[in-house]
Amino acid sequence: MKTAHKVASYAIAVNAFLFVFKLSMALFSGSISLLADAIHSSTDIISSVALLLGIRIAGRKTKRFPLGLYKVENLVSLGIAFIIFLTGYEIIREVFFQHRSLVLARPTYAMATAATAMLVTWLFSLYEMRIGRQENSPAILADSRHIRTDAFVSLIVLVGLIGKQFNVPAEKIATVVVIGFIMKSGWDILIESVRVLLDASIDPATLNQIKEVIQSHPAITEIRELIGRNSGSFTFIEGDLVVKAKDFTHAHQIIEKITDKVQREVPHIDRIVLHYEPARRPSLLIAVMLSDGTRWQVSEHFGEAPYIGWIEIHLNDNRILRMEVTLNPFTEIERGKGIRVAEHLVNHGVDLVLSRQLFHGKGPEYVFNSRDVKVIQISEEFVDRKLIARIYRDETGRDLDGDTETLEVITPPSTSD
Ligand SMILES: [Zn+2]
């Protein structure tokens, strides 16, 4: 049996015990206030049966209710809120407007009964509160507050019985003290159930936590929208993201990874739906390592090449924005030139790297892979417009604007980084 079902079954048992115990002791002691409390406990048996049924139904998913019946729990909570209000009303009526002649034969027994009932109810409400939090169950949490109300009822009975011994209307004072707590419990549960039933947003803290998990993935460039709603014990999340990825398959993999991570780190999520679209860049940046910066001669080596050639193409009008040569700033260092150069290119936002050799299993490959930079192997000795046009067509399916046969005037090497 599930923990929530178990707790609801216990609630039935506890209320049945309290009813029998209070009723027999009321008859034995002759206490009418205890009798009224016993009658209240009989209605509590019914409400705890409704709780168990509600939780059982809430756990179902059927064809007609494909999103689950989780909200039945919130309906049950709404019902419990009304029971709490009714209890408050009963107390006020009992204490202030009912003038019964008390024939208390055995006051000590009546007091002991009220004290026992209060203790049992209070302890059970604490237990229910703990399980309700652990299971994230609104119905169990609502019931724990109802049971706490029942403990207040027994407290008022006890105070009234003690007051009677000294001819003081102590139960009136006790009622004034606790009625506020009782009505607030009912009100809080009412508001929370209605909020969930009307699909109010989940709390900002949880929403922020989910946002942080999503943003922690480097491929996510923007969260357009992120909403969450509760339904019974569960949370449903929907989002609209912009992903930097090579293609849709890759974007889909990224989204799946993020979905898994959110589900692992944020408890009680039933479903996450994340829509995505690829990030649109204004331009495509191509880099190539050069041995001769003036003639744009492609280097046989990667990390040791003296120059870096940059080609930026505007994606809107397919025109080359700039062709620039810079010095490789890492030629002097002893080790790890390749990785340093790769990081340098990535940090400048490179999208494509042209190279005479591929980096199978080497450092630069990891750097480029981690940032979705594509490496294209070329056999050409020199970079010219024709080569750029071919690469551009392969990558975007579009033609470079202008005459592809003529060679572009090349910017002389500069020392700028
Ligand atoms: Zn009750």
Distance of CA 12 to the CA centre of its chain: 33
Handedness of CA 62, 66, 68, 69 (dihedral sign): negative
pTM for this one? 0.65
* 164 in the same domain as 15: yes
| CATH number of the domain where residue 210 is located | 3.30.70.1350
* 262 in the same domain as 185: no
Ligand 1 centroid to residue 168 C-alpha, Å: 26
Tokens linked to 8: 């609801």
Ligand 1 centroid to residue 415 C-alpha, Å: 82
User: What is the rounded distance in angstroms from the CA atom of residue 254 to the CA atom of residue 188?
Assistant: 40
Contact between 18 and 121 (Cβ < 8 Å): yes
* 187 in the same domain as 111: yes
Structure confidence at residue 59 (pLDDT): 84
Q: Which domain holds residue 244?
A: 204-278
Ligand 1 centroid to residue 351 C-alpha, Å: 67
Residue 403 lies in a domain: no
Low-confidence spans in the chain with pLDDT less than 50: 404-407, 409, 412-417
Detail the DSSP E strand segments found in 259-306.
Answer: 269-278, 283-292, 297-298
Ligand 1 centroid to residue 46 C-alpha, Å: 10
pLDDT tens per residue, range 273-318: 998 877 767 788 999 999 998 889 999 989 889 999 999 998 888 8
The total number of structural domains in the chain stands at 3
Ligand 1 centroid to residue 4 C-alpha, Å: 19
Helices (H), 337-384: 337-347, 363-370
| CATH number of the domain where residue 335 is located | 3.30.420.130
pLDDT tens per residue, range 182-211: 898 899 999 999 989 998 888 899 999 999
Ligand 1 centroid to residue 1 C-alpha, Å: 25
The residue among 5, 31, 42 whose CA lies nearest residue 108 is 31
Ligand 1 centroid to residue 345 C-alpha, Å: 70
Structure confidence at residue 1 (pLDDT): 66
* 178 in the same domain as 38: yes
Structure confidence at residue 403 (pLDDT): 56
Tokens linked to 118: 């209060």
pLDDT tens per residue, range 256-278: 999 999 999 998 898 899 988 77
- Which amino acid type is present at position 157? V
* 290 in the same domain as 153: no
State percent of the chain over pLDDT 90: 42
Ligand 1 centroid to residue 412 C-alpha, Å: 87
Q: Which residue has the tokens 């202008």?
A: 402
